[in-house]
Structure 1
């Protein structure tokens, strides 16, 4: 730095100490007011709020709680943002929260371990939220060592966890049963299954229901193929299934894998639905435009989001605890990818 250069200094904004000095109170009292604590008398609180306005002091997200003791904000902890189901559910939660007058603070986590969840809750604590929705479709959340904090309203989406919190999910078992029964009712001797990753709770529920439906109908249970939710893994499984002349019907655990499977079947000369019928799961917007248009199971992501936010708002505002899991119904959408087997 030369002699005639003046160092640039960042201007200091008004601090909590400035508020305390103007209001004639301690810094601890200002902190209690800023964080919405109730152990401050009304006159002192009004004086501190007036001092904040005068000096231009703006606490972070706690400012929303200064007058009513609520932050009007919910946190969402989510794993696997790239997942179609999680993305749609997150969108539905955000819409439902906004309609209820709440902002959303999103905290992605890389894995569903105790350390990752604890860190996510710590970050949400710094952002001052009234409650938390956990959107993690992994079996790690079911494990006993994963503990959720006391004193904070929590709703869990897409889990089989035995927690003392509301749990909201799509009725995965119903959807898989509808898909499998549809193919059997068309006259197929049995139904093959391309499942999702083993760590996914949703995939496990769909697989178990597919297997149980076949068993209940007295049908053979073929070996399971496993994908990773991607169209690429569906394509790989489709190449394997296309080589087996016994395969006439496949239930795929999501639409993206079904897309890859359809391509593999076409490349191997297996007509859909003439040779092999295919049912997906999700009813993503593009499913109606696959070739052929895909028969699939429709999930109501909007309903899952709404029910999750409703459950959390009840926890936060009324202290109501509905620990009976909420299962949102699915619907079979029949399109051109399924037909009776060739005689």
Structure 2
């Protein structure tokens, strides 16, 4: 029995009581030392610190929170999907948080409705996070302001309250870049396969596309809509393939462009000889499409990092000025676009 008890003690994580026993002081004294209490002698402090090292005792997140008033955890709300963008943003968030000694607690939502956003944020607040990053394309800034009130928050590509920072790609400029590139190649107009109209970033790209066409005095074709999936790109690609006058398409995501390329190929429309295609995101697979995609690059990981830095700045100084960081898009030219020859 004694042996079993000894094994049990060795297997369990050391506690504050173990530290107190080794140091020859009370658990209350250990607590005061770990909290940096001033009424502890230097000798006692050294004894406790040595005991901490000998036992391997580590404070839990809860214990640390009681001492510092912080959980050292950031909450992240993302849109649940199997697409590349949320994962890339999370990569940037995780790396930046880890470098600053923070943990990340993530929650997902399958809807961009105010009710779904509220539920996700409240779930993270219940976990005691120190700050929040919302990577969902929010429209209702008033609803967000009510639920994030008092919690340092950065929003990626969405609306925000006056108390939140925003990290955003210039979506209208992205639409313009894609459209102007195709017009410069001699195409009379540009068709657009947009993302869901309920998404703020999709709407911004559509606005930029339409503005570029109107500024150039070109006709504006009806907008086609997808849901970010390759399947929706394929379905719309079958429509584009039946229109011989459609020689250029701006697709609102690389993944939809993959489906579009397949549909055009199946219908005998060559890319870029018959149809030039510009997409959006520049995910790693874009350069391996057939042909490699000309696309507008979004620096997802960088945006996640910037959001973390802004939230941590607000945690450290609640009076820091709230800012909006607009990241410029970049046109990456590959083989899916070419000058119109007929």
TM-score by length of 2: 0.81
Asked if structure 2 preserves the Cα contact closer than 8 Å seen for 1:130 and 1:316, the reply is: yes
2:95 maps to 95
Q: CA deviation at 1:91?
A: 1.4
Aligned match of 1:178: 177
For residues 267 and 325 of structure 1, do their structure 2 counterparts lie closer, same or farther at Cα, with a shift above 3 Å needed? Answer: same
Aligned CA-pair RMSD = 3.6
Residues paired across the two proteins, number: 321
**Where do residues 1-343 of structure 1 align in structure 2 (5 Å cutoff)?**
43=39, 61-139=61-139, 141-142=140-141, 144=143, 147-343=146-342
Post-superposition Cα deviations, 1:76-103, rounded to whole Å, max 9, x if no partner, equal 1122243322221111111121122211
Distance 1:110 1:60, change over 3 A: farther
| Change over 3 Å in CA distance of 1:122–1:144 after alignment to 2 | closer
Q: Distance in 1 between matches of 2:60 and 2:118?
A: 21
Report the Cα distance in structure 2 between the residues aligned to 1:246 and 1:330, rounded to whole angstroms.
29
Superposed displacement of residue 24, structure 1 = 7.6
Within 2, Cα distance between the matches of 1:330 and 1:67?
A: 43
Match of 1:10 in 2: none
Q: Which residue is equivalent to 2:22?
A: none
Q: How far has the Cα of 1:147 moved from its partner?
A: 1.9
In structure 2, C-alpha distance between the alignment counterparts of 1:14 and 1:288, rounded to whole Å: 52
- Structure 1 unaligned spans of 5+: 1-12, 17-21
Segment drifting more, 306-315 vs 57-66: 57-66
Whether contact under 8 Å (1:114, 1:147) holds in the other structure is no
Is the CA contact (8 Å cut-off) linking 1:60 and 1:127 kept in structure 2? no
- Give the gaps of 5 or more residues in structure 2: 1-12, 17-25
Distance 1:42 1:278, change over 3 A: same
Structure 1 length-normalised TM:
0.81
- Distance between the aligned counterparts of 2:90 and 2:155, measured in 1? 13
Structure 2: how far apart are the matches of 1:189 and 1:244? 14
**How far has the Cα of 1:43 moved from its partner?**
4.7
Distance apart, 1:277 and its partner CA: 0.3
User: Partner of 1:6 in structure 2?
Assistant: none
Once residues 161 and 153 of structure 1 are traced to their aligned partners in structure 2, the CA distance between those partners, rounded to angstroms, is 12
Q: Report the Cα offset of residue 323 of structure 1.
A: 3.0
Measured in 2, the distance between the counterparts of 1:124 and 1:144 equals 16
Q: Is the 8 A contact 2:114 2:143 kept in 1?
A: no
**Separation (CA, whole Å) in 1 of partners of 2:112 and 2:253:** 22
- Residue 124 of structure 1 and its aligned partner are, at CA, apart by 2.6
